[in-house]
Structures are given as structure tokens and as C-alpha cells.
Amino acid sequence: MTKTITLKETRATYSLSLDETQLGQEPIIIEREGQPLAAIIPIEKYQEFVAWQESDERCQQLSALQKERDAFHQLRGQLLKTHLGQFVAILNGQVVDSDVDNCELAWRVYNKFGYVPIYIQRVEEKPTVYDIPSPEVVS
């Protein structure tokens, strides 16, 4: 369970009251004016995160995923003729499955091939572009 603590301004510093028995047991979210600012997590979880972040395996997975993405773009002309409007799963530079539902497709390919880098993309004439506005920083 996650606990939330709200910061209260007292001049230029903040006061924070923590129950030391909760430290290291569960995540604690720190908020200011209803907006999450930070999290206090058990040190073991932090160490796991740092190890994951620095791991060669993560870099290898990202590199493998980039190769599958590149393969999708190389196959795109052919895929527009054969899989238009469908999601395709690319593994080892080849289409291994397709479906109109990306969740069903992901479920199937991960069950079949295991949790390895598999690139899933919808085949479209014109790729969908998402405009995600950046949050404003108010001082």
C-alpha cells in the first residue's frame, strides 16, 4: 500500500513529518498542492532499479528492439499490401503474427516466444502522430 504525504510550506523550507516505522516498508508519495513530487521507496527497490538501469541486458534489449523496428520499416512497403490496418509482430526481422487487436497479438506472441524484444506496430499508409502537451511549470 502506498502512503501519501503533503508538503506544507513554512517560509523557504518545507516541513515533513514521517513515521520512521513506515520508512523502508512501503512507498511514500510526497505531494505539494495535490501534485506528486517525489517518492520514498525501500532501499532494496532503489538498488534493484539502479542495477536494472545500468545493466547490459537492458541495453541489449533496447538494441534488439531497435533492430526489429528497423526491420518493420524495411518491410513496410510489402506490409502495406498484405497487412494494411493490422498490427504486426516483428521478431528476428520477420513478421511472426498479425491481428487487428494489438493486445491479443501481444498476448499471443509473448506466450509463444517468451518475453523477448518483439516490435508491434500498426501498418498504416500515414502513421498516427500523437500530440502530447507538456505540463506547464508554475513558479
For each of the domains in the chain, give its residue range(s) and CATH number, in order of start. Answer: 3-51 (3.40.1620), 58-122 (no CATH)
Residues in the chain: 139
**Nearby residues of 37 by Cβ (< 8 Å), 6 or more positions away:** 7, 30, 31
Residue 91 has pLDDT above 80, yes or no: yes
Reported as a pLDDT band with limits 50, 70 and 90, residue 33 is confident
Tell me if 39 sits within 8 A of 28, measured CB to CB.
yes
| Phi, psi dihedrals of residue 13, rounded to the nearest 5° | -115, 170
Please tell me the number of Cα atoms within 13 Å of 53 on its side-chain side.
Answer: 6
Mean pLDDT of 5-21: 61
Confidence at residue 7, expressed as pLDDT on a 0 to 100 scale: 62
Give pTM, 2 decimals.
Answer: 0.55
Confidence at residue 121, expressed as pLDDT on a 0 to 100 scale: 95
Question: Which long-range contacts link 17-26 to residues 24+ away (Cβ below 8 Å)?
Answer: 26/1, 26/2
Helices (H), the chain: 43-54, 56-82, 102-113
- How far is Cα 102 from Cα 116, in angstroms, rounded to an integer? 16
Residue 39 has pLDDT above 90, yes or no: no
